[in-house]
Amino acid sequence: MEGVAGGCGDYTENIAVDDEAFEHELSEERRLELEYYGNLELQAGADFSQIKSQYRKLLKKYHPDRFHQDKDKQKTAGEVICKINKAYSYFEQKMR
C-alpha cells in the first residue's frame, strides 16, 4: 500500500507542476498580446476591424520609402514595420 500512495503523491505533484507551467504559459501569451496591442498603438481589447484599420495607418506612417533622405530613420521605420507586421499577423491568426 505504501508504494501505491507514494505513486499517487508523485502523480499529483506532477499535475501541480503542469498547472503552474500552464498558468505561466497563459500569462506569457497575455503579455505578448498586450505588447502587440502596444506595437499597433491600440488599447487592449480592440476588435479586429480597429486592428486592421490601425495596421494600415501605421504601414503608411512608417513606410521606409517615406524616409529615403534619412537612412537612420529609414532603418528605424523598417524595424517598426517588422513589429507592426508581427503584431498584425498574431491577431489575424487569432481571428481564424
Neighbour count for residue 52 (Cβ, 10 Å): 16
> Of residues 10 and 50, which shows the higher confidence score?
50
Domains contained in the chain, number = 1
Average pLDDT over residues 67-90: 90
> Of residues 39 and 70, which shows the higher confidence score?
39
Amino acid 26: pLDDT: 67
pLDDT digits (tens, 9 = 90+) for 83-92: 999 999 999 9
Residue 1: partners with Cβ closer than 8 Å, 6 or more residues away: none
Which CATH number goes with the domain that contains 43?
1.10.287.110
Among residues of the chain, what percentage have pLDDT more than 90? Answer: 49
What are the angstrom distances between the C-alpha of 96 and each of 31, 33, 48, 90? 21, 16, 11, 10
Residue 84 belongs to what domain range? Answer: 2-95
> Of residues 41 and 68, which shows the higher confidence score?
41
